């Protein structure tokens, strides 16, 4: 396929596309500034701007409706002008400045348009809201003298399936009246980690050179999102072994990695930086994440190990995790606590939180079982610790109940024998 890749421009210079020939799946490097953050992506030439924003940067506020440029759901600002993200290839936009609905305002400081939409109940089901907000912003910025009578026609490029036009027009008209010289600029554009609430879809760096160098050395910083995690998991496991035996596993990163379900360590870059691969399978959905991990804290005396990690699969699913393991001695051995904050984006984020939470909890339970086995034997688990399957998730609660009943029965039998003595 042939696409037009834009030449990087100086300030005020016109947009000058140049032809680029590339196969549909051939990766093409593209640099953009998205909501104020420089990004460098390597994308197949066929990827639209809408898919790049949603699947590779985690900015899912840009909705995709008709994919023909008719419904207006995917409207974003490209160099200050409203554009349909579903009609643009991302590789066309090298050097462009993109603003999405996430850049319009912050939760604690919404843009006047967002405040007005909420005040006038113009949100309806919410699916068209990003498109209406960005189209309205473009209209009131470039045509602040638009009249109330002209609003229906000017905003007709976005379709509301709820037909809630009256409230939308009222909200836009109120904002127009409050800001006759033009609405304030987007309030959430600045250098920050992309991906909204989730993983690292792109490198929020100054350019690809820095990124490539960091990636090749495996020492690139992992920037966790500042918002709430998609999933928060806390698992406590009792291990019938002394604490130092458990730390015999936690001290050996290669042995520890063998205990992680579906994971393998592929590179050790030193200084606590590692590369690895993890596989997750839920029914027909099979994902393979390649990523990096960093040990932030390893304090055997305090019984605390903390690591952060991030990974991405070829389909655009991304995940980041902040995991803390703590241990404490008990009367019967060791209590190991695993606290994890998991951030998901892309295809994997389409799983319900309940299902994703079940998968995460099951993986940590398998990890704890594998650590117990490794601590007891001093060797890696006898076989690869497989990622949880859909079948195991279904039967896990039943198996757990059987285990509890067996343990309870064992304690009763031991208690009975002691009484007989």
What confidence tens digit (pLDDT) does each residue in 183-228 have? 999 998 865 544 433 333 444 444 444 444 444 444 556 777 766 7
Residue 195 confidence (pLDDT): 44
Residue 221 confidence (pLDDT): 65
CB atoms within 10 A of CB 140: 23
Residue 401 confidence (pLDDT): 55
Residue 264 confidence (pLDDT): 82
Residue 131 confidence (pLDDT): 96
Residue 215 confidence (pLDDT): 43
Residue 15 confidence (pLDDT): 54
Domain ranges of the chain: 27-178, 231-391
Residues of the chain with pLDDT under 50: 1-12, 18, 193-218
Q: 231-391: CATH homologous superfamily? A: START domain (3.30.530.20)
Residue 18 confidence (pLDDT): 47
First to last CA, the chain: 84
Which of the listed CATH numbers 3.90.1150.10, 3.10.20.30, 1.10.3210.10, 3.30.460.80 matches domain 27-178? 3.10.20.30
């Amino acid at each position: 396929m042939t696409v037009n890749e834009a030449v990087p421009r100086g300030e005020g210079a016109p947009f000058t596309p140049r032809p680029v020939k590339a196969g549909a799946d051939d990766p093409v490097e593209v640099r953009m500034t998205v909501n104020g953050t420089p990004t460098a992506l390597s994308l197949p030439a066929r990827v639209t701007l809408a898919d790049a924003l949603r699947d590779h940067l985690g900015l899912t506020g840009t909705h995709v409706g008709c994919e023909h440029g008719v419904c207006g759901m995917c409207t974003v600002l490209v160099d200050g002008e409203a554009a349909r993200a579903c009609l643009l290839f991302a590789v066309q936009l090298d050097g462009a400045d993109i603003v999405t609905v996430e850049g319009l305002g912050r939760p604690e400081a919404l843009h006047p348009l967002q405040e007005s939409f909420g005040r006038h109940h113009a949100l309806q089901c919410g699916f068209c809201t990003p498109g209406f907000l960005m189209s309205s912003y473009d209209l009131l910025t470039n045509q602040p003298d638009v009249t109330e009578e002209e609003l229906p026609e000017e905003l007709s490029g976005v379709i509301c399936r709820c037909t809630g036009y009256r409230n939308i027009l009222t909200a836009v008209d109120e904002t127009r009246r409050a800001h006759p010289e033009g609405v304030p600029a987007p309030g959430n554009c600045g250098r920050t980690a992309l991906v909204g609430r989730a993983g690292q879809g792109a490198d929020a760096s100054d350019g690809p050179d820095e990124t490539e160098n960091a990636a090749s050395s495996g020492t690139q910083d992992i920037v966790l999102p500042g918002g709430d995690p998609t999933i928060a998991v806390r698992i406590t496991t009792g291990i019938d072994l002394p604490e130092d035996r458990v730390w015999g596993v936690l001290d050996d990163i290669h042995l520890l990695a063998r205990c992680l379900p579906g994971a393998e360590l592929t590179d050790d870059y030193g200084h606590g930086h590692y590369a690895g691969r993890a596989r997750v399978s839920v029914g027909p959905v099979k994902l393979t994440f390649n990523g990096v991990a960093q040990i932030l804290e390893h304090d055997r005396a305090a019984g605390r190990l903390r690591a952060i990690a991030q990974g991405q699969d070829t389909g655009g699913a991304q995940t980041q995790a902040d995991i803390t393991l703590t241990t404490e001695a008990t009367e019967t051995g060791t209590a190991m606590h695993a606290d994890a904050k998991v951030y998901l984006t892309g295809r994997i984020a389409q799983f319900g939180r309940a299902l994703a939470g079940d998968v995460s909890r099951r993986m940590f339970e398998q990890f704890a079982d594998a650590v117990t086995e490794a601590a007891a034997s001093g060797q890696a688990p006898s076989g690869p610790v497989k990622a949880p399957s859909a079948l195991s998730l279904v039967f896990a609660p039943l198996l757990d109940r059987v285990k509890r009943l067996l343990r309870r029965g064992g304690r009763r039998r031991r208690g009975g024998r002691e009484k007989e003595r």
